[in-house]
Amino acid sequence: MENIKSKKIQNIKYNKDKIIVRIKDLFFYYTGVPVLEDINISVWQNDFLAIIGPNGGGKTTLLKLIVGLLKPSGGIIEVFGSSIEMGRRLIGYMPQNSTFDLEFPISVFDVVIMGRYKGTMVRYSKKDVKETINTLDTVGILKLKDRHIGELSGGQLQRVLIARALARNPKLLLLDEPTSNIDTEMLQSFYELLVKLNKRMAIVFITHDVGAISVYVKNVACLNRKLYYHGSKEGSLGKLAEAYKCPVEILAHGIPHRVLGRHGK
């Protein structure tokens, strides 16, 4: 039964510029306190969307709502034209790395193959093993595959988590603070990896590090309880200042890397 359902989803033909995630009038309250208000956003096929915003702005909450770990207080989330439970089979999700115990007796390979989970009573096949190896290779940690997860550096662990999200060949990759444990020298190659992946899938990543909006990102949205969508980077900067409640100058870094126009231009 489950297999039939997932096949049905995979057979959907994608048009260019097709919307894969549609969020309409989304509200989320946590014990009566509004965390997200009136969120409206669409993610397009092959999108590369960065969601920025201050800590506590609701970025992680928004991702958790998209993958169904939290239930909306109001509004609609549609994933790949169907419900979250169905649609999330095509999502690769990378949480912040604090959700599990690093002492857990498990190897890198065994963590990543979990991304290929298909259902109860279904064993991991030879294809699953092969895809897992390929994914480990893609993110550059194949030689660490038998290592215990507790014996990795922060950057290596981040790659393991990305590999786990990628292992199922998703059509949408959701990354929660992927750059938080990657040092500045590695950042360049990390973005190059994302650009490579972006040819195959849409990417949404969230960060509180504004410097992370590199030239590679296609669209930017700011989230601080309300969402301000900027579309392709050079958006209206007044909205950005409104979201952050601070001068936009802080957001834009040095001239050579400037992604956003100067305030008042």
Part of the chain binding another protein (CB under 8 A), chosen from 10-18, 48-56, 88-96, 202-210 = 88-96
Nearer to another protein, 6 or 138 (CB): 6
Q: Is 89 in the site for another protein (CB under 8 A)?
A: yes
Q: Does 118 bind another protein (CB under 8 A)?
A: yes
Q: Mark the segment that binds another protein (CB under 8 A) among 8-16, 97-105, 186-194, 249-257.
A: 97-105
30 near another protein, rule: CB under 8 A = no
Q: Do 260 and 252 form a contact (C-beta atoms < 8 A)?
A: yes
C-alpha dihedral, 223 to 261 to 194 to 242, nearest 10°: 0
Residue placing its CB nearer to another protein in the complex, 7 or 123: 123
**Minimum distance between the CB of residue 181 and another protein, rounded to whole angstroms?**
17
3-state secondary structure of 202: strand
The count of residues interacting with another protein (CB under 8 A) is 31
Q: Per rule CB under 8 A, is residue 127 in the interface with another protein?
A: no
Q: Does 107 bind another protein (CB under 8 A)?
A: yes
| Cα(119)–Cα(226) distance, integer angstroms | 37
Site track for another protein across 135-154, x = CB under 8 A: -------------x------
4 binds another protein (CB under 8 A): no
SS3 86: helix
Checking 141-148 for CB contacts under 8 A at 24+ apart, the result is 141/108, 144/108, 145/107, 145/108, 145/109, 145/112, 146/107, 146/108, 146/109, 147/107, 147/108, 148/105, 148/106, 148/107, 148/108
Q: Note whether 114 binds another protein by CB under 8 A.
A: yes
**Does 100 interact with another protein (rule: CB under 8 A)?**
yes
Site for another protein in 161-180 (CB under 8 A): 164, 168
Q: Which C-beta is closer to another protein: that of 108 or that of 197? A: 108
Q: What's at 21, amino acid-wise? A: V
DSSP secondary structure string for all residues of 28-62: EEETTEEEEEEEEEEEETT-EEEEE--TTSSHHHH
Helices (H), 33-153: 59-66, 84-87, 108-113, 126-138
Contacting positions for another protein (CB under 8 A): 2, 67-69, 88-89, 91, 93, 95, 99-101, 103-107, 110-111, 114-115, 117-121, 123-124, 148, 164, 168
